[in-house]
């Protein structure tokens, strides 16, 4: 070899085979970049060995890890996210996480943990999200969460708790204790003044302490579904800021009272499904001027006249009625099984309008003959005793009606609702009740009706946005991803990117969301700010399939959640041009070397050269064995030289994020 050419060739091999000279990724894991390590479904029985000290995000879910020790975490003081969900961990030794002084997100969901001791989370002063849902936890030490002053989200649903220790976590925004066996809570158990979302579904609650919500002035989302409440709790009167309320599945609630909801004018989402309601109080839904989503499915509605206002109200209002097919009439028999929203007014059996004939007498002289003038008046059969006639008109005595008058006082004694489909009730000459049916209906009570096909109007097709905001508080925005996911059946995950358009820091923040999450709440936002939010397929850097929206937080001041960001733009800007220049020089040198050697080989077939030292060490094989191994980027995609990794630590549905088919909490 020519020394200079061989040097450039070896430099090229060095650039193309960096794994030969760098620390290998732990066995059974993949490393999309030096700070993210994915050991997912790798059948690991213990913590992997040889983790780089600069690791920031470590994903170990869906393995068989059964025990943890502080020694395994030694040196990982830069770790910010640790996902150990869906393993076999049964115990959390005291001080086990102390080496992880920078940890902000810890997911231990879907393990076999039975007890939380006093020192289980010692040393995690910066922890923001703690997920313990889907374990077998029976007891929690009263001081287990002391020292977690930055905790924002705590999930304890689907465990075996019978009591809840008093929580002294002032910054907590979300608490989920659903599907435990906690029969009651005391006001002193919830010393969380900034709590925004409280989920208590499926706990067997039969009542709520009247003062339970008194100190929770920032509460926006309350889930009391699938309990044993017999009436709407009076404690709701103190939750004036509620925007989302679920009472679904409390099957012993048979009646609603307007006074129980009188302070909930801010409600935007209301779930009253699967109660035991037959109707609503008059003017009930008019209490909620901001309501945009309503669910009343699986109630045994009695579809008679007092409920006739409901279908027109749904059609005229902007409220979205969920689960239409499951919102049906049970009574009376004539309407049983019909979809409530599609019922016409006449099908509710309300009183109909009847045409009556009256006689008017006009006097022209003091003693003139009476001149009868026939006039027609349209009246509605009511129970009012006031006469519809003017003051200068008077009716003849009821005992002597005029022959040409069809007025019959006996018509007032017809039972209401006896004639259907718009028929009018009257008495025949024998005093028997009979119904006069309109055109197109017949039968004794006009119960039979011709099937008429109405012309089908072409609906106006409106394109709904792929992503949209569902609800916003001062520190959070709920992003609806239903339509985005439904339009992409093969979608693996979603990358949410958001930035504050109102503040001085407009750098984007990225969150990786699995495709199994139809909605996601962005938390820790600044109040009274406008955010630009975009969704794009995970691991696809292009923007051709990106959809964006703009949403705004409310003006109530809240403490923003800290956001972890990585700043390496300058370093990347310096390295990329340098590497490009070196590669160009190396390729040119390699081509020249190949050309010279080939010419020499034709003229001097026996001429040889000493092998490069790097070839003797096996580096050459890296180039000659075919295509180099490719590493699929898992979750981190650089954008404009900046890279932000904010882990998804969000549940799947309001009451329970632990589904039957276990999926990772995030990617």
The residue behind tokens 């393993």 is 87
User: What mean pLDDT is predicted for residues 175-192?
Assistant: 94
Task: Determine the pLDDT at residue 416.
Answer: 56
Please, are residues 507 and 639 in contact by the beta-carbon 8 Å criterion?
no
| pLDDT value at 539 more than 80 | no
> Domain range spanning residue 496?
474-552
Which one of 522, 552, 582 terminates a domain? 552
Residue 115 lies in a domain: yes
What pLDDT does 502 receive?
A: 76
Give domain status of residue 548, yes or no.
Answer: yes
Quote the pLDDT of residue 516: 81
8 Å CB contact between 562 and 150: yes
293: nearest Cα among 250, 258, 248, 337: 248
- pLDDT category, 626, cuts 50, 70, 90? very low
Residue 316's CB: how many other CB atoms inside 10 A? 8
Digit-coded pLDDT (tens) for 466-509: 899 988 888 999 999 888 888 888 887 888 899 888 777 778 88
Position 57 pLDDT exceeds 80? yes
Predicted pLDDT of residue 607: 43
Q: What average pLDDT does the segment 546-559 reach? A: 75
Q: Is residue 57 part of a domain?
A: yes
What gap in Å lies between CA 195 and CA 210, rounded to an integer?
A: 18
Q: 376 vs 99, which has greater pLDDT?
A: 99
Across 62-81, average pLDDT: 93
User: Is the predicted pLDDT of residue 525 greater than 60, yes or no?
Assistant: yes
pLDDT at 634: 40
- Which has more confidence, 96 or 557? 96
Instruction: Name the percent of the chain lying above pLDDT 90.
Output: 43
- How far apart CA 72 and CA 69 sit, in angstroms, is 6
At 512 the three-state DSSP class reads strand
Question: Among 564, 480, 563, 582, which residue's Cα sits nearest to residue 524?
Answer: 563
- Per-residue pLDDT, averaged over 46-63, amounts to 91
Q: What pLDDT does residue 462 have? A: 53
CA 233 remoteness from chain centre: 25
Q: HSE, CB side, 13 Å, CA atoms: give it for residue 227.
A: 28
Quick: pLDDT tens for 354-384. 444 444 444 444 444 444 433 333 333 333 3
Query: Over 50: is that where the pLDDT of 554 sits?
Result: yes
Q: Note whether residue 106 is domain-resident.
A: yes
* Average pLDDT of span 129-145: 96
What pLDDT score was predicted for residue 242? 96
Q: Quick check: is 168 in a domain?
A: no
Q: How many domains does the chain have?
A: 2
What is the reported pLDDT for 510? 85
Range of weakest confidence among 264-278, 433-447, 650-664: 650-664
pLDDT of residue 12: 42
- Specify the 3-state DSSP secondary structure of 67: coil
Residue 638 clears pLDDT 70, i.e. is over it: no
Q: Which carries the bigger pLDDT value, residue 274 or residue 2? A: 274
Q: List, in sequence order, every beta strand (DSSP E) within 66-195.
A: 81-83, 105-107, 115-116, 129-131, 139-140, 153-155, 167-168, 174-176, 190-191
- Residue 552, pLDDT score: 86
Query: How much is the pLDDT for 49?
Result: 87
Residue 27: pLDDT over 60: yes
Residue-level pLDDT at 377: 36
* Per-residue confidence (pLDDT) for residue 659, from 0 to 100: 39
What integer best gives the mean pLDDT of the chain? 77
Residue of higher predicted confidence among 263 and 250: 250
**Average of pLDDT values for 245-272?**
94
The CA-to-CA distance between both ends of the chain, in Å, stands at 49
Out of 97-106, 274-283, 498-507, which region has the weakest mean confidence (pLDDT)? 498-507
DSSP per residue over 353-396, as a string? Answer: EEEEEEEEEE--SSSPPPEEEEEEEEEE--S--S--S-TT--PP
Residue 262 token pair: 């009188």
Is residue 56 one of the residues assigned to a domain? yes
pLDDT higher than threshold 50 for residue 628 = no
Between 596 and 367, the more confident residue is 596
- Work out the average pLDDT over 627-651: 41
- Mean pLDDT within 599-619: 49
- Of 635, 660, 661, 658, the closest CA to residue 648 belongs to 635
Last residue of a domain, one of 510, 533, 552: 552
Nearest CA among 202, 207, 146, 199 for reference residue 175: 199
Q: Is the pLDDT of residue 647 over 80?
A: no
CATH number at residue 529: 2.60.40.10
Rounded to an integer, the average pLDDT of 653-664 is: 44
Q: Looking at per-residue confidence, does 412 or 270 come out higher?
A: 270
Q: Which of 378-392, 432-446, 567-581 has the lowest mean pLDDT?
A: 378-392
* Residue 46 located in a structural domain: yes
Look at residues 220, 250, 212, 214 and name the one whose alpha carbon lies nearest to residue 232.
250
| CATH code, domain with 56 | 3.80.10.10
Higher-confidence position of 471 and 66: 66
Assess if residue 631 is contained within a domain.
no
Q: What is the mean pLDDT of residues 183-210?
A: 94
Decide if 531 contacts 522 (C-beta within 8 A): yes
Percentage of the chain modeled with pLDDT above 70? 69
Q: To 10 degrees, what angle do helices 3-16 and 569-603 make?
A: 130
């Amino acid at each position: 070899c020519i020394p200079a050419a061989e040097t450039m060739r070896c430099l090229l091999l060095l650039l193309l085979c960096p794994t030969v000279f760098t620390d290998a990724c732990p066995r059974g894991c993949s490393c999309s970049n030096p700070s993210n390590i994915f050991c997912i479904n790798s059948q690991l029985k213990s913590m992997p060995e040889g983790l780089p000290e600069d690791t920031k995000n470590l994903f170990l879910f869906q393995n068989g890890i059964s025990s943890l020790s502080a020694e395994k975490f030694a040196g990982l003081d830069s770790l910010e996210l640790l996902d150990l969900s869906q393993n076999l961990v049964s115990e959390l030794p005291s001080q086990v996480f102390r080496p992880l002084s920078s940890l902000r997100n810890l997911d231990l969901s879907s393990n076999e943990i039975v007890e939380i001791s006093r020192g289980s989370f010692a040393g995690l002063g910066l922890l923001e999200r703690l997920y313990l849902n889907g374990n077998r936890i029976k007891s929690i030490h009263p001081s287990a969460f002391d020292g977690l002053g930055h905790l924002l989200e705590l999930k304890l649903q689907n465990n075996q708790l019978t009591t809840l220790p008093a929580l002294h976590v002032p910054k907590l925004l979300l608490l989920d204790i659903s599907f435990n066996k906690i029969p009651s809570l005391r006001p002193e158990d919830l010393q969380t003044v900034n709590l925004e979302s409280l989920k208590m579904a499926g706990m067997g609650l039969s009542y709520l302490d009247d003062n339970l919500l008194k100190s929770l002035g920032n509460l926006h989302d309350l889930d009391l579904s699938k309990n044993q409440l017999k009436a709407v709790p009076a404690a709701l009167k103190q939750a004036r800021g509620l925007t989302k309320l679920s009472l679904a599945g409390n099957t012993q609630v048979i009646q609603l009272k307007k006074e129980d909801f009188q302070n909930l004018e801010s409600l935007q989402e209301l779930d009253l499904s699967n109660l035991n309601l037959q109707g609503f109080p008059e003017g009930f839904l008019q209490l909620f001027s901001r309501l945009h989503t309503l669910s009343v499915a699986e109630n045994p509605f009695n579809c008679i006249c007092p409920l006739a206002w409901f279908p027109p109200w749904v059609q005229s209002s902007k409220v979205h009625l969920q689960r239409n097919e499951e919102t049906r009439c049970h009574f009376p028999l004539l309407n049983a099984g019909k979809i409530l929203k599609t019922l016409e007014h006449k099908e509710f059996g309300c009183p109909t309008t009847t045409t009556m004939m009256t006689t008017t007498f006009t006097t022209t002289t003091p003693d003139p003959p009476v001149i009868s003038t026939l006039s027609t008046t349209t009246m509605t059969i009511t129970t009012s005793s006031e006469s519809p006639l003017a003051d200068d008109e008077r009716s003849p005595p009821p005992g002597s009606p005029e022959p040409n008058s069809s007025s019959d006082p006996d018509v007032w004694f017809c039972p209401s609702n006896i004639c259907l489909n718009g028929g009018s009730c009257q008495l025949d000459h024998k005093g028997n009740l009979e119904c006069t049916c309109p055109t197109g209906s017949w039968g004794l009570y006009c119960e039979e009706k011709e099937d008429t096909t109405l012309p089908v109007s072409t609906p106006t097709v409106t394109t709904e946005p792929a992503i949209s905001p569902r609800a916003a508080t001062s520190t959070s925005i709920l992003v609806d991803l239903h339509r985005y996911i439904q339009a992409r059946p093969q979608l693996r995950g979603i990358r949410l990117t958001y930035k504050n358009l109102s503040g001085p820091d407009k750098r984007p923040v990225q969150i990786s969301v699995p495709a199994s999450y139809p909605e996601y709440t962005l938390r820790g936002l600044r109040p009274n700010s406008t955010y630009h939010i975009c969704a794009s397929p995970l691991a696809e850097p292009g923007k051709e399939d990106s959809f964006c929206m703009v949403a705004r937080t409310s003006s109530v001041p809240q403490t923003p959640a800290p956001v972890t960001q990585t700043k390496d733009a300058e370093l990347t800007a310096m390295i990329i041009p340098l590497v490009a220049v070196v590669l160009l020089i190396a390729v040119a040198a390699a081509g020249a070397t190949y050309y010279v050697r080939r010419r020499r080989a034709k003229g001097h077939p026996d001429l040889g050269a000493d092998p490069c030292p790097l070839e003797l060490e096996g580096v050459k094989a890296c180039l000659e064995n075919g295509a180099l191994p490719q590493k699929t980027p898992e979750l981190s995609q650089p954008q404009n030289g900046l890279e932000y990794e904010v882990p998804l630590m969000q549940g799947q549905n309001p009451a329970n994020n632990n589904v039957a088919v276990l999926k990772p909490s995030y990617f």
